[in-house]
Amino acid sequence: FEPHQAFRVGEHAWGVQFHPEFTDAIMKAYLEVQYPDIVAEGLDAQSLLQGVRPAPDANHLLKLFAEYLNARTMTK
């Protein structure tokens, strides 16, 4: 795995190596579109689809990140 999951470039550019905005429905739709490519890679696409679960902590993470950015803005 990548050791750096979040990063900042300068004062205003932030990035993450994951997709906290993805819901389980979005992830399932993504896997369904990618299904042929997943199978072509020799992976079990059906198991991946069945393994998708809601990730309620992702919304909380986004909220905390927004609060952090707002607090930084208010102190400048």
Query: Tens of pLDDT along 6-65?
Result: 889 998 888 888 888 889 999 999 999 999 999 999 999 999 999 999 988 888 888 998
Q: What is the pLDDT of residue 69?
A: 84
Look at residue 69 and tell me if it is in a domain.
yes
Look at residue 35 and tell me if it is in a domain.
yes
Look at residue 66 and tell me if it is in a domain.
yes
Look at residue 1 and tell me if it is in a domain.
no
Q: Pull the structure tokens for residue 15.
A: 């990035």
Contacts of 40 (CB under 8 A, 6+ apart): none
Name the pLDDT band for 76 (thresholds 50, 70, 90): low
Phi/psi of residue 65, each to 5°?
Answer: -65, -45
The domain total for the chain is: 1
Look at residue 33 and tell me if it is in a domain.
yes
| Residue 52 CA, distance from chain mean position | 13
Look at residue 8 and tell me if it is in a domain.
no
Look at residue 9 and tell me if it is in a domain.
no
Chain position carrying tokens 């400048």: 76
* Cα 59–Cα 63–Cα 67 angle in degrees, nearest 5: 170
What range does the domain containing 62 cover?
22-74
